[in-house]
Structure 1
Amino acid sequence: MRFSERNGYKPIREIIQKNSINMDLKNALWNTIIVCIFNKYSYHFGARSRPIIGSNLESFFQLLFHSFFKKRIDQIPYSIEATIDDIDTLFFKKYQWYEIYDFIEACIEYFPFQDDKDSFNTLLNDCLQIENSAYRIINNKVTEITSEQEIKSIEEALQNTNPYSGVQQHLNQSLKLMSDRQNPDYRNSIKESISAVESICKIVTQDEKTTLGQALKIIENKYGLHEALKKSLSQLYGYTSDADGIRHAMLEESNLSYIDAKFMLVACTNFINYLIEKTK
């Protein structure tokens, strides 16, 4: 992760890729298509300069041209090499980010080697996860897993906590650990999200030793807090204490994922934004 990402200077939308695809992700998706489809071209003469007609990819390109590109199939270039060049131009120079995802879905739908389709989807999802895309392949479709509202919650929390460097540092660290492309650390990302909540509670109550439960009681008495909301917050963040909860149960799980860390970061930023607005 670069300096700008580690220290919170890079916009959230560039770290979590929603409504965009940067060149790293674009290259990774293209490489997956090359490896899983184009490089498996087989023709009885072998060379990529040989024709598509008669090869094992003939039906794939016919479906692609007929149903996706909406072109005549007699306009398919003669060779696999020329066809890849034409698609390369579309993919890297002409397509918008959403058109690239349309193309990915078409490749999945017309995938020519059905026994390997799950592996293709897995490799695509690996690329999407490593590059922090807001989308994943689910049931053969590109599906949003990070909403606009979630991104806005993180953005607002980072802006709202400008006066509170300690809280902001915890949030930046949580985001950094969650979105590190080389070595994501979801467990410690969750810890940092919780620490941000604890930190804002100490600021709001002006008590360095307060617990979340005590802070909620103070906020309820001083500013008003609906009982149902207080209970839900207490239940959700109850595992910040030394009792049963995230520090003892969830964090011991071996399969924590980006989804778990993102959920906790968004939940914590929602609560932080709520507390700051409530106590103004």
Structure 2
Amino acid sequence: MRFSERIGKKQIKSEIQIDSMDSELRIGIWNVFYLYIIKPLEKENYITESVFKNLVNRVWFSFFKEAMDQIPIYTGDIAIILKERFFSWDYLGVYDFIDFIASHKDPSINYEGFSDSINFILKRELSGYRIVSGSLAPITDELEISEIEKAVSNAGSLNLIGVKTHLSEALKKLSDKKVPDYRNSVKESISAVESICQIITGDPKAELGKALKLISKKLPIHGALEQGFIKIYGYSSDADGIRHALLEESTLDQEDALYMLISCSSFINYLIIKCNKQGIQLSTVS
């Protein structure tokens, strides 16, 4: 907080930016691009000799979707085009570009530093989005981000392929800003919990309700928590849920999908900790 804000002479920014992007947020994001990509790119003079050659080719081919023979030879000219495009896009265009760069993890970029710096700006300027596991996601709470990242990381390190795949898909479907699929995001979140429960029980075909009852015999899970997830499973299977192929449009919204992803990630982390304490080895049967 600046001095003028601390003494009440200047209003503190308090509105989370979801469907807009003010100039401070846009410039902050640009400055990260400049430090990690534009500035080192300009130093190399010719794109044919640059470590950023593959990244630039990918941007033209897959993001701009324009003729690659129109890519300038000089890196300085490329930098000018990137800046002009960046400041001409609406907020969705800027976020699409962040997501594109983050998801490709090009070796020419210090990905960890880039992601951390982008997230610093997004947090500082009260953006409702963060980079989480290589995708831009509509998340507004740091603890929520931590739970999701931890669940994806735990699933990856333990080689729980099904769990990681479902969580990643849930995040991907939630994060699509143009055509978000909240219905199937919830399905993937619940499927991630079902997957780890199948792994713990050793029954790859057990549905979540049955698996939770079997798990309660192996792990000291509080009855209320068990019943809570059984009810969530029921919610995901009802007429407005996602486990059935419905013809009518679902009324699920962003907050529903986000809540399910956070809750399911937290529960997965909880089950992994419980298994560790009980000496239960997790193996990928699901």
Task: Give the structure-2-normalised TM-score.
Answer: 0.47
The structure with the larger Rg is 1
Task: Give the structure-1-normalised TM-score.
Answer: 0.48
